[in-house]
Amino acid sequence: MSANNGFDVHVLVFARAPVPGKVKTRLAVAIGDDRAAALHADLLQRAVATAVAAGLGSVTLCCTPDVNHPCFEQAASAYGIALTNQKGADLGERMYRSLTTALAGAAAAIVIGCDCPFIDTTYLGEAAAFLAGRHTQVVIGPAVDGGYVLLGGSRLHPSLFEDVPWGGDRVLAVTRNRLEALGWSWRELAPLHDIDRPEDIALLKNRPHR
């Protein structure tokens, strides 16, 4: 049973293995590969802990390049969650496949990454509450940089994930345009910061408790 009045929401946490030189490369310019990877590992554990603490439904850690990194195994053991491999040619296809699979067994599904430590249980609960309403099919958590930190839906369409300029500042705008073209209703949460660049490190002191 979920904490959202029985409305079951499957939360997916998308994560890359915290291998030095492979994650947080823009941050690594300022703090080095090892510290950047350690920060990524910390953010990964925090994202999983928050998703579980929200109590919305099942939580799955969607891993790349595979599920075998010790950090993934530690999260699965500590929080009793499932691990799965991300599958697809790009981020959009991987998210669409994972969300579609999750929707087969839940009323709605939400995907978050590990770059935003400002997502807390309240934020996830707000997303779930919107999706539980009759008139909201998709919910978005905008990122300050023009992307998004959360996407969820009670239904999904492949056009929301195809030919999107991932990693750029037009992701949110493109997603809004696609939703308008579909004629779907959606709600947006408060914009939040990602931790991607050296200047973002100072924001970490303001991250909330779950």
Q: What is the pLDDT of residues 87-111, one digit of tens each?
A: 999 999 999 999 999 999 999 999 9
Tens-digit pLDDT string for the chain (210 aa) = 455 567 999 999 999 999 999 999 999 999 999 999 999 999 999 999 999 999 999 999 999 999 999 999 999 999 999 999 999 999 999 999 999 999 999 999 999 999 999 999 999 999 999 999 888 999 999 999 999 999 999 999 999 999 999 989 999 999 999 999 999 999 999 999 999 899 998 898 776 665
Residue in the block written with tokens 């990964």: 44
Contact of 56 with 9, CB cutoff 8 Å: yes
**0.85 cut: is pTM over it?**
yes
- Tokens, residue 183: 């004629």
The residue extents of the domains of the chain are 9-202
| pLDDT at residue number 76 | 97
Question: Which pLDDT value is given to residue 205?
Answer: 77
- For 9-202, the fitting CATH number among 3.40.980.10, 3.40.50.11060, 3.30.56.10, 3.90.550.10 is 3.90.550.10
Q: Is 130 helix (H, G, I), strand (E, B) or coil?
A: helix
Strand partners, 90: none
